[in-house]
Structure 1
Amino acid sequence: MSAIKVIEREVLKEKPQGPMGFGQLFTDYMFTMDYKEGKGWHHALIKPYQNIEISPAAQVLHYGQAVFEGMKAYRQGDDIILFRPEENFKRMNLSNARLNIPEVDVAFLLDALQQLVRLEQDWIPAGQGESLYIRPFVIATEPYLGVHAATEYQFMIILSPVGAYYGDDQLMATRIYVEDEYVRAVRGGVGFAKVAGNYAASLAAQTRASELGYHQVLWLDGVEQRYIEEVGSMNIFFVMDGKVVTPELNGSILPGITRKSILQLAAYLGYEVEERRIAIEEVMNAESVSEIFGTGTAAVISPVGSIRYQDREVVINNGATGPVTQHLYDEYTAIQEGRKADPFNWCLKINKR
């Protein structure tokens, strides 16, 4: 692939010193490209991170055509790696198709991302639980007040150095609130896609859960409101009689990259894994549920210390991280950070500048 044009920044930002939080700091540069019907994707550019200008009539503001992804870059000693970026861009095309957004070229974006991260390599932190969070997204920019698929789009990648999602305590046990009034998605809808509207629809329930002292919302299916689907920012797993179990993909659950990886890793480590429908009553009443944990790019693996459904709360493993959760976390992060061999070829090494 040919080098992408770079517009140099006159003055570079000062790199962060100390705690970074999550998603609050942004690097010097961003990647952008435009789409116009009849011309396709064009004008790929790396330029200084800056505000964007769109028309007040841009269709994303009125009809919600917006898709995004999340991935990370890590330091492995002197090396820089991306973790399964091709899977993210493939999933982005599934989301694009659902919102009638033009497909992006996966191979081109993989190359563009490597060029951007190589340029910004000094922003990749090296502390425990730290990484460079990568946010690709697409928005509809055509100025038109009418409901149809837009004819103009902008694709962007921005970068953010981050610490652990839950702060210094990377494996902090989260408290989960089961939502039984609102629904997030139904089969045939957009639940399987990573679209902005899914997250907007979750905010009322998340606010209520937070007011009650819970960290995350666990969503049930949108038809019977009985079967477990996913948490607001994570897929969900249960350890039942030593078996690693997660809800099966059904069209309304996001096919998480971390979810997919943990299923593969757990099987490799000798655990029996299962994907199936899981009723909330089974989890609340089964003594066989010894551990619960969530998986996602941001939090990686997050143990669940308690779960509340209606007027009942169940404490899991005395509120502590369980042995299976800890084992999977240790093995998974060891691969990401280069402390153990990568038997799956998940890590894409970037040549340093």
Structure 2
Amino acid sequence: MDLDQRTVTALPIEESDLQEYRAYLQRGETRLSTLHRVAGAFLSGAGLLTLLPLLVGGTFSGLLALILFYESPGLPAPGSAQRWLALAPVLASVGLPLAAMYLLIRDLVLFYFTARTFHEEKNGVIYPRFVLSGILVSESSLRDFSQLERARGDNYVRNLLVPSPPKLKKKILKEAQSIGDLAGVSIGEHDGFVAEELRQYVLRQTGSHTRTLAEESAKMEASIARHLRFLRGLVLRYAKAFLLTIATTVVALAANGVLTLLRPIDGKSVTGVNGAYVWMTTMAIYAGWALVSTIIVRQPVIWLYADSSRDKISRTPRPLLRFEQSTLAVTTLISGIIAIDLFMAAPPTTGVGWGLALATAGVILATFIVAGHAFVSERPEGR
């Protein structure tokens, strides 16, 4: 019984064409193997897992307590509006890398799995499949495939797909019936018939459909193009997530270190520490984070175009553009919140205070300029 419920009828293929198809399929398998090895790096310790330790630790819990409730001369009153406004950049600095990691994991799932059926199918239930389909021998290129058919029916071959214990067969049958397949089959029927139906189901769900060499080659072309398209987004997404995570970690450590200066050491306060300067410095640090994040979220794509012709307009790939623009919007908003927070605080009365205020204002202005330039540069022509 054919997997597609159809008989493959193909015109005879010239021997030279057969050789070309086979050679292409071999090259395609090598290319797909390489692409999957590259993507596999993001699931290993050298990839995705290296991001997690940077966001896990006691730094953020201590920082939140200092930002909101620590009482010290020169700081805004605990729980005041300035304190809650200051919480926004802290949460944004953590939220952006986490959002980037979420999108990275989503792209990994899309890279490895698909809901496509690998052949034309009008009705039925969509079911996830591994993106690489199974491959059957192209019967149309065989002069005599009766021996192959007999070998496929051998128990030792069938048992690789359908385990012999009834419990495990029932488990596969339930899975098939949950998506509307094998509705008229029950375990109580002839064991050979049930095993064959389950074998056909497993082959269908792995995309192991009967295809000619031409059909297999066409699918290979589409598969390679799909992998390359998703891998481009995957690598760029990882670069953005990693850069944002590094920026967040450095800023959190710096802000935590500055605020810790207000804490007593061995029961004694550190002399010469002005609470107002500490608060302004903390806000300046997060203003710097907003500027750095505005720059680095676009940096991976900018690197790609560094060696290209300057007379052409560069564009961020569309799947990445939404996160990039969201990041620019968040950093611009955070810069505005920091400006409001500093405006609500006591105005500086010394040269150091004015220096911190002017430096922070300059960083905030630079963030607005960089974000505005980025939005304009990505606007489609003619708008």
- Which band: TM-score by shorter chain? under 0.3
Q: Relative to total residues, which structure has the larger strand share, 1 or 2?
A: 1
TM-score (norm 2): 0.21
Higher helix share: 2
Q: Which has the larger radius of gyration?
A: 2
The structure whose RCO (Cα within 8 Å, separation 6+) is larger is: 2
User: What TM-score, normalized by structure 1, do the two folds share?
Assistant: 0.22
